Amino acid sequence: MSHGARVIRTGMSSGGPAAPPAASVASSSAGSDGELMDGAYFRSCAGMLKVAQMISLLIGFISVNNSQWTDYSAYSFFQIVTMCDLVMILFFYVIHIFRIYRKLTCVSWPLAEFLHYLIGTILLLIGSIVAAAKSYNLTGLVAGATFGFLATILCVLSMWSSYKVSCITQSTSK
């Protein structure tokens, strides 16, 4: 969860100006840390990707739920996987929006999110393949499987981008 590097100025630099007084530093950083919500995450690529995942999962669930289907086990599995994935993505979205990861430092949030995407994407891919195979050309079931595949692609993109950021962050921090 790399949210940008912070520069810490000290008054001990050689030849440079001294740091501003401590009161002005505290007041300038209080605006970013003291806010309840992280407004920048709404507009970030990761935030918009999570919203797109949630929307595609919800459309896939509604499409399958409102269709006539005969294979109960295949579509109930698809519905369970889409709802569980939707709830977990919403959970991590709330974690980022309200900056809960700063308060609960005992959890490795990047690892938890990566594992969620890994397991959720595999289950969603299996559910989408089964839903597509058992759709029998019914439009609602085909639409649900299509949005399941779209959500799978978006989850892979999110997993790849978070892994890429983690690798870059770890390699440059040495």
- What is residue 149's predicted lDDT score, i.e. its pLDDT? 98
> Which one, of 99, 118, 96, 104, lies nearest residue 44 by Cα?
96
Q: What b/e sequence results for 62-93 when a residue is b if at least 16 CB atoms lie within 10 Å of its CB, and e otherwise? A: bbbeebebeeeebbebbbebbebbbebbeebb
**How confident is the model over 157-170, as pLDDT tens digits?**
999 887 776 566 65
Tell me the residue range of the domain where 165 lies. Answer: 49-172
Q: Coil, helix or strand for 70?
A: coil
Answer whether residue 22 is part of any domain.
no
Residue whose token pair is 């896939």: 60
Q: How crowded is residue 3: how many other Cβ atoms within 10 Å of its Cβ? A: 15
Cα–Cα distance for residue pair 121/57, rounded to 1 Å:
12
**How confident is the model over 30-53, as pLDDT tens digits?**
445 567 888 899 899 999 999 999
- What is residue 136's predicted lDDT score, i.e. its pLDDT? 86
The residues near 116 (Cβ < 8 Å, ≥ 6 apart) are: 88, 92
Q: Per the structure, how many domains does the chain have?
A: 1
- What is residue 162's predicted lDDT score, i.e. its pLDDT? 77
Q: Is the pLDDT of residue 8 over 50?
A: no
Cβ neighbourhood burial of 113 (10 Å; 0-12, 13-18, 19+): buried
**How confident is the model over 104-154, as pLDDT tens digits?**
999 999 999 999 999 999 999 999 999 999 988 889 999 999 999 999 999
Answer whether residue 31 is part of any domain.
no
**Most distant CA atoms of the chain, gap in Å:** 77
Answer whether residue 5 is part of any domain.
no
Answer whether residue 61 is part of any domain.
yes
Better pLDDT: 161 or 12 = 161
> Which one, of 43, 30, 127, lies nearest residue 86 by Cα?
127
Cα–Cα distance for residue pair 106/13, rounded to 1 Å:
34
The answer to whether 131 and 74 are in contact (CB under 8 A) is: yes
Q: Is the pLDDT of residue 12 over 50?
A: no
